[in-house]
Structure 1
């Protein structure tokens, strides 16, 4: 009975903690949304825009600090949300991003006894039986799980050919925490979807669902293990990249055992130089590998922060360089559909070839710009932009006077703001991956510009597209030849049907268009008659008041015809 009462007490305590967690998240979101509405929407409507602008920086800093405290206290997905914001996934001010940068390193570890209990329940054996040894001090602690170094037992070592391993174990109770956090985020997403200023730009509920899918996949270690093997297959035979092997015998949904591939952290420039590796050579290679994932394979690492990439020295020296990049932690992966990948390729090619219209078309293909948008002025803006800066390499743009960019933004700012831009659903992880890539490369080389690697990569894409064009033309030629072969027979059949009188041609669409054209012509004639009679009456009225008045009154007849004909149409 005592154990039953204790179980009920624990269950009630957990439910109470769950409700308290949900209420705390909702109070934080509700208060900050109300403050934002007051300053950013209400005050500008009553002519107090200056107050909103003057207090914006301080308000953003206060929000970031309070969210930082909330995320560290609650953990779970709140840490993930903070990491998304710190990675500039949206147009967020530096007051927010800089405050949230350290969230990755502030997650407190779970005591090892709780980790041991969960791991043994999952594996079905004690850790002493499963491993020869295990370090109770975690090598890494994250918001959803933590990792410990271990040594495989003799049988597992013989089967896998590995000795050192990393045991990754979920945080106890993380399933319930994720469920509560997602319920809160869905509620907040529903609130934001009712704000037209936001809903016109982005489908917030859809983004929350994308975040939910990614988060649920991240706490399924079987899914992460499969991602790891898929990523390894994409780069099989590529001496630039390596991936840890999965020890499937010691892997479940909540426990993941991997080969220990710990090496030099990619942003540890001192350790890289000590190993004879130039950080400035690592940056462009890392950027190119990320581009290959996104543009070639369509399956990319969506969390490439410095803790998830090592630079591993190569002992045998058989490759082109004496080191390679080692990726770990494949819980957060993104997939770029072929349509998105094609749009991104077009975007890079248009930028490399200084094609303003092609750039706008690529943006439209990506779904960033709604199909109904009128883009004539935007195309003109892009053409002028390339006319001014098109002769420069991407890296040279850093030396341009910032005032020139400000003048350009001032000239075409209204055009850009008036267009219905939006953030497509599948762009959340793409933006995160590219943002983190840029940050890692800048840490390796302060003078590095991501465009330095984009330009040669785009040039290669342009060459590849040239080959694809030849293939497309060849395919079209084959199709046309087939049509030409079948054409005489089909024409003969059509002539026979005409002679038999069995062909009838109807085109309701054409008939409707003709009818509209006729009505438009009639309205145009009526409008011309109205204008002619009105002007003639006004001119003649000075000499002949009666006749002039008659003409002006008569002009009402064609006016009424034009108006009522338009309504009938």
Structure 2
């Protein structure tokens, strides 16, 4: 009954804001015009369609707001009036009561606001689907941002996820194509990430990890967490000062190199994905600012780390090889990789898949983003994946969503950006570090502590083996000793070869350093 009530709320909201009329307006057939006329009887809307869509998504809750946030980055796919309204979902969702926010903070820390902070701004500076942010000053004068979780989010998300799970089950039962898309697994991944976002301590830990990973890149800044003031419902972090990346005119007037900013964004994304396997997966413009401070001028400022994507080494390797093959236009290798990874059935003919991939990708190389129709690319990719029974990889759903965000952001910053040319050098360098000379050097450095532990044990192990061989033993014990001897010999060989590799690695390091 609880889920049924939620479904009725969704249906009522769709009708209340005329979203059904908006959906039917996309169809031009006579029957659809007739149906639209019937459904619109007695309904008149004062607000424009973009406003109605935004209000409906806000009313329906976090999952729908996040869907609107993703759409808002795709101005190439949306009419301008809708894109402008959906952009307000990035950091301008109606806030909850300031007195309630104050109460939640005091409950979380067991102290009054006056005891916690020197100053506290009751008016939130930003409000999103999951939480809102207030500026404050700690005792001692340090400026901070206080993030407070919206109350009642868990029940709403659980109800919506339950509905999505039921819908996914129906899709899998009724459609063979639906089973290929693995909707239940995709919903399960979505469920995990949304519940993770409700734990602000987890978000703080994500921010700390990303801050360490990005240290030294000098392209992006991540706020420092104030750990003694971090709980599941409230976290306090370093206050970051910057201009929202959506305010392009302000950035241009301040002298920011916008094309460089677009290229830096691509570099940050590929670094997080392929070097670290740990990436910010909610990169809509509301979570990204640009610093104008003299010491960090032109650097990105990343905010909101509730949704973080991770990749294991296998996925990173296959993805990187796919990207490199794409950039080299080696479509046969792309087809082979899809078969090797199990993303398409093993009996798929390589030449047929190669031809399909070439037909999708070749028309879009060496062209700036402004000349690429993403809608057409997605349509042809869907047709090809359906033909070859390509299975959706649920663990890559967040990566795909983030890639759409990055591509949409790049399109807004610099329509002349060549995404392929910008990313290719980075991926080729990464592949060299994975399988080339640098990879060998990095592996030797990684294994050096292990070799340092094994080397002192070798004399004792050899002495024990020789001592046992000099004594008469029964056959079973002899076999055991022989096995131990063989194991020791292999260990000795590994250490010797490892030592040689370590020495060669040091020589290689000196060689690289001299270049």
Deviation of 1:169 after TM superposition, in Å, equals: 0.4
TM-score normalised over the length of structure 1:
0.64
Per-residue displacement from partner, 1:156-185 (whole Å, max 9, x unpaired)? x6xxxxx11111101122222222222222
TM-score normalised over the length of structure 2:
0.70
Distance 1:66 1:202, change over 3 A: farther
Tell me which residue corresponds to 1:523. none
Tell me which residue corresponds to 1:457. 426
Tell me which residue corresponds to 1:42. none
Tell me which residue corresponds to 1:152. 138
Task: Identify which of structures 1 and 2 has the higher relative contact order when contacts are C-alpha pairs closer than 8 Å and 6+ apart.
Answer: 2
1:421 and 2:390 matched: yes
1:445-524 equivalences under 5 Å are 445-464=414-433, 467=436, 471=440
1:253 and 2:238 matched: no
Deviation of 1:353 after TM superposition, in Å, equals: 2.1
Of 425, 431, 444, the match for 2:400: 431
1:129 and 2:115 matched: yes
> Any idea what SS the aligned residue of 1:262 has?
coil
Tell me which residue corresponds to 2:105. 119
CA distance in structure 2 between the aligned counterparts of 1:421 and 1:224, rounded to whole angstroms = 33
CA distance in structure 1 between the aligned counterparts of 2:77 and 2:261, rounded to whole angstroms = 29
Of 178, 183, 187, the match for 2:157: 178
Moved more, 356-365 or 18-27: 18-27
RMSD: 4.1
CA distance in structure 2 between the aligned counterparts of 1:438 and 1:53, rounded to whole angstroms = 37
1:159-558 equivalences under 5 Å are 163-316=142-295, 322-364=297-339, 368-382=343-357, 394-395=366-367, 417-464=386-433, 467=436, 471=440
> Any idea what SS the aligned residue of 2:294 has?
coil
Deviation of 1:128 after TM superposition, in Å, equals: 1.4
Per-residue displacement from partner, 1:477-520 (whole Å, max 9, x unpaired)? xxxxxxxxxxxxxxxxxxxxxxxxxxxxxxxxxxxxxxxxxxxx
CA distance in structure 1 between the aligned counterparts of 2:147 and 2:398, rounded to whole angstroms = 23
1:343 and 1:362 in contact (8 A); partners too: yes
Deviation of 1:437 after TM superposition, in Å, equals: 0.9
CA distance in structure 1 between the aligned counterparts of 2:51 and 2:183, rounded to whole angstroms = 23
Unaligned runs of 5+ in 1: 1-14, 40-48, 158-162, 476-569
Unaligned runs of 5+ in 2: 41-48, 445-515
CA distance in structure 2 between the aligned counterparts of 1:28 and 1:206, rounded to whole angstroms = 28
2:369 and 2:417 in contact (8 A); partners too: no
Q: Which has the larger radius of gyration?
A: 1
CA distance in structure 1 between the aligned counterparts of 2:133 and 2:346, rounded to whole angstroms = 47
Distance 1:20 1:312, change over 3 A: same
Alignment: residue pair count: 418
Deviation of 1:189 after TM superposition, in Å, equals: 2.1
1:86 and 1:100 in contact (8 A); partners too: yes
> Any idea what SS the aligned residue of 1:248 has?
strand
1:21 and 2:31 matched: no
CA distance in structure 2 between the aligned counterparts of 1:414 and 1:147, rounded to whole angstroms = 43
Distance 1:133 1:232, change over 3 A: same
Moved more, 66-75 or 224-233: 66-75
Distance 1:258 1:211, change over 3 A: same
1:200 and 1:420 in contact (8 A); partners too: no
Distance 1:119 1:440, change over 3 A: same
1:109 and 1:141 in contact (8 A); partners too: yes
Deviation of 1:205 after TM superposition, in Å, equals: 1.0
